[in-house]
Amino acid sequence: MAYSVRLMHHPSLRVPDLAEAEGFFARVYSRPSVSQATILGEKARQGVIDPNSTRPMDYCTFTLIADVYMDSLDPSRYVIDGRQMYETVTEPQLIGFGWGVDGDLEELYFALVEHGIRSDDQYGRTGTPDAVPMAAFSATPLFYTTVDTAGLRYQFMPASRIEGWHASDPRWDPGWVVPPPSPTDPLGIEFCASHTVVTANPERAHTVLVDILGGRLIWESDMKLSGTRSMFVSLADSVFEIAVPGNGDSIARRDLDKRAPYDAYHTLTWKVSDLDQAAEHLRRSGVRIVARDESTLIVNSTDALGVPWRFTDSAIPNDPRVQDGAAAS
C-alpha cells in the first residue's frame, strides 16, 4: 500500500459544555487545555489563515494527556455557513478518532470504498466512488467514515497538514518521546494502554484496523473485569481493543446497546505507575470506582465526562511500545 497511518491525531469527545470539560481535565487529570480559538487566532496572526475566514473557531478544546491529544467538541458551536454540523448533545460521549496519514490518501479512500465503506466530508456529504472528499477550508483530502458502513466515525487527513499546526501538540516533532509521569501528575499516567471499541461485529472493526489500515493483531483474551472477549491491534502509535461484550449485564454491553446497531468508542485505558495512588486521587476528586481487580480499575462514567475511563498498572502483552513485555490482566 502507498499509504501508512503515522499517528492518531486525536480522539473526539462531544460535550455540551467546553468549560466543564476543561475543568474536569484540570481537576482530575491535572492537565491544561487549549482552545481551538487560541490556536486559530495565533495562525491568523502568523498569516497562515485568513483572519476574516468564516470557519468556526471556538467549538473545541484540546488536552494533551501523555501520548493522547484529546479533542473535546461542543456541537452547538460547530457551525459552518449557518449550518450546525453535528447534533447537540446533552451528555458527553466519545464519538471516534482521527489519524494523520502519510502517502496516498486517495488509495486509502478507494480501499475503504472497495470494502463497502463510505465516507463523508466536513459538511456531511458522502463522497462518490471515484472522488475523495476534501476539507472545507483547504484543497486537502479529509474524510470521515460513515457509522452505518464502518461502525464508527474514523477521520483521515494528511499527516503533513497536521504537523506543526498545533503548537500545544508536540507529538509531531520527529524527536518527541512520551515523557515519564510528571511529579505533579497525581494519576501517574505513563501512556494510553488502549482505546476500546465495543462491537457486535468484530470482523468489520478488524477489516478497518488491520486489513485496510495495516494494523497488527497482538493479543486476544477474555477480559473478565469488563466482561468482553477482546482482540488487541497495534496500529501506528496506539493499541486498539476490539471488544465483544458477553450476554450478561456490563458497562460495555450497556454502551453497545445504546449505540446499536453501530459500534461504540467505549473508553481509553491509561497505564499508570501506581494503581493505588491513582485510585486514591480519583476518590479525592469525586470520581467513583465501579469495578477493580488486581491490576485494573474502571470509573463511574457519570463522574467522568460520560467516559468509564480505565486505569491499569500492566501493559497489553506484545505491545511493541513496551520493552519489558509487561502483561495486562
* Per-residue pLDDT reduced to its tens digit, 42-51: 766 766 666 6
Helix (H, G, I), strand (E, B) or coil at 259: helix
Query: Containing domain of residue 247, as a range?
Result: 189-312
Are 66 and 151 found together in one domain?
Answer: yes
The answer to whether residue 72 sits within a structural domain is yes
**318 found inside a domain:** no
Task: Judge whether 204 and 152 are in contact, CB under 8 Å.
Answer: no
Cell of 244: 465483544
* 38, 156: one domain: yes
Residue 26 pLDDT > 50, yes or no? Answer: yes
Q: Mean pLDDT over residues 206-234, rounded?
A: 98
- C-alpha cell, 261: 446497531
pLDDT of residue 238: 97
| pLDDT for residue 236 is more than 90 | yes
Region 294-316: mean pLDDT is 97
Please indicate, yes or no, whether residues 142 and 95 belong to a single structural domain of this protein.
yes
- In tens, the pLDDT along 248-280 reads 899 999 999 999 999 999 999 999 999 999 999
Candidates 65, 28, 46; CA nearest to 171 is: 65
- For residues 33 and 22, is the Cβ–Cβ distance under 8 A? yes
Answer whether residue 323 is part of any domain: no
The counts of H helices and E strands in the chain are: 8, 18
Q: State the pLDDT at residue 327.
A: 40
Three-state DSSP string of 216-241 = EEEEEEEECCCCEEEEEEEECCEEEE
Q: Tell me: pLDDT of 329 over 50.
A: no
Residue 206 burial (10 A CB sphere; 0-12, 13-18, 19+):
middle
String of DSSP letters for 286-326:
T--EEEE-SSEEEE-GGGTTT---EEESSPPTT-TT-SS--
Q: What is the model's pTM?
A: 0.94
